[in-house]
Structure 1
Amino acid sequence: MNIEHLNVNGMELAVVSSDEIVIIDTQSALDLAMTVKYETNVANIVIDKNIICEDFFILSTGIAGEILQKFINYHVKVAVYGDYSHYTSKPLKDFIYEANHGKDFFFVATRDEAIQKLTETQ
């Protein structure tokens, strides 16, 4: 796992990427957030979608809701970047839409968009 520490317009961010799936359940997501906070002292995290298990995107598993709730409880803001075009689930599309209109969790296409989204909510 790679954690890159950035300062963008005075805002501290961490960008997390990996060649392996890192987030497989609520505990692994919380472990990631706490590792980032410990190593960088940052609570604004950009995450590559490829490090999240596919079960996250199947809303009936409940993983997505649990992870978002943990991040909100621990005051962690997250922007996940990647390709969502192959998902056909209306509930997932609605979930992404609602998340993108909030202030704590976002789904965007590119790393640059993710960084921008987090710096906009400062």
Structure 2
Amino acid sequence: MKMGLKWLYFAGVSLGNVITPFKAREHVTEGTDVTLYCNYSGGTELYWYRQFLGSAPEFALYILESGMNRSADPPIPRLTAHIQKSLKRVALKISTAAVSDSAVYYCALRPTVEGNPAKAVQKHV
């Protein structure tokens, strides 16, 4: 029996630049692919994070408007990003979704954690 999965993601505002989710929630069936989108204005680096219930956010990857990207170290399996520069939209694809992928996923225009995003710790504001 296939299990239903649920992702939530949200957006933030950074130095006059804005990033907004394309949709607030995604429900998918286990084993299918899902793509989460954020629209942005300003900024040239876009960051994706995920957060499991009761845990601090963790860096997943970032992508530049040029398309260059960098994953967490070690990379999170089955996560890829691409950017649609003409639409000012960034996408995070989760291939072959599993129940263990259920989390809050969010995008940002700047790092939301201190230090190297690949070695993320929560930023205290």
User: Please, what TM-score do these two structures have when normalized by structure 1?
Assistant: 0.31
Larger radius of gyration: 2
Which protein is richer in helix relative to its size?
Answer: 1
User: Please, what TM-score do these two structures have when normalized by structure 2?
Assistant: 0.31
Which protein is richer in strand relative to its size?
Answer: 2
